Amino acid sequence: MTNKFEAGQVLEGKVTGIQPYGAFVALDDETQGLVHISEITHGFVKDINDHLSVGDEVKVKVLNVNEENNKVSLSIRATEEAPKREATKTQKVQKPKQQEEATSGFNTLKDKLQEWIEQSEEREGTFKN
């Protein structure tokens, strides 16, 4: 039954059922696969019903075929291009710091070792009675 499908194939299917954990998609008259909720779309999906309805025609990619259990794992998001992300505020804040480090040069561990030893010895003196 599942031997006509293999991982990596992109197929058209029809949503036949929706559960809180995913959507069932008919690949042909005999075979259904499951699109897990995490594979519906890029980003967080709280409610599958916001994205899919029974009867929808969808393009899916076969992720895995388990012939022993006759199960096919599918993904809709694997057929879609990931949205481009804009730089977040934290990335914008970190950028000047990265530039600062680049201009100060790179110190190897060998160069820093003596400095660390001296700092350690100084601190060690503060712990002795």
pLDDT in tens, 83-113: 787 655 555 555 555 555 555 566 677 778 8
Residue 84 within a domain: no
pLDDT (average), residues 13-41 = 91
Extract the tokens encoding 27. 């690949």
- What pLDDT digit, counting tens, does each position of 41-87 carry? 888 888 999 999 999 999 999 999 888 888 899 999 988 887 787 65
Cα separation, 72 vs 3, in Å, equals: 10
| CATH number of 37's domain | 2.40.50.140
> Does residue 107 sit in the same domain as residue 66?
no
pLDDT at residue 114, rounded to an integer: 84
**Residue 33 belongs to some domain of the structure:** yes
Say yes or no: 61 and 96 in one domain: no
The token pair that represents 90 in the structure block: 């934290």
Range of lowest pLDDT (11-20, 101-110, 112-121): 101-110
In angstroms, the CA 92 to CA 99 distance is 12
Residue 14 has what pLDDT?
Answer: 93
Contact, 107 vs 114, CB < 8 A? no
Higher pLDDT, 81 or 38: 38
Same domain for 96 and 38? Answer: no
How many domains, in total, are found in the chain? 2
Q: Domain for residue 98, yes or no?
A: yes
The pLDDT value given to residue 88: 58
Same structural domain for residues 103 and 40? no
Assigned domain for 39 exists? yes
Which position has the token pair 């002795």? 128
Q: Are residues 98 and 69 in the same domain?
A: no
**Residue tagged 């660390």 (tokens):** 116
Q: Are residues 118 and 75 in the same domain?
A: no
Are the C-beta atoms of residues 15 and 54 closer than 8 Å to each other?
yes
The domain containing residue 109 runs over which residues? Answer: 89-127
Residues 14 and 67 in one domain: yes
The reply to whether 73 and 103 lie within a common domain is: no
Same domain for 69 and 102? Answer: no
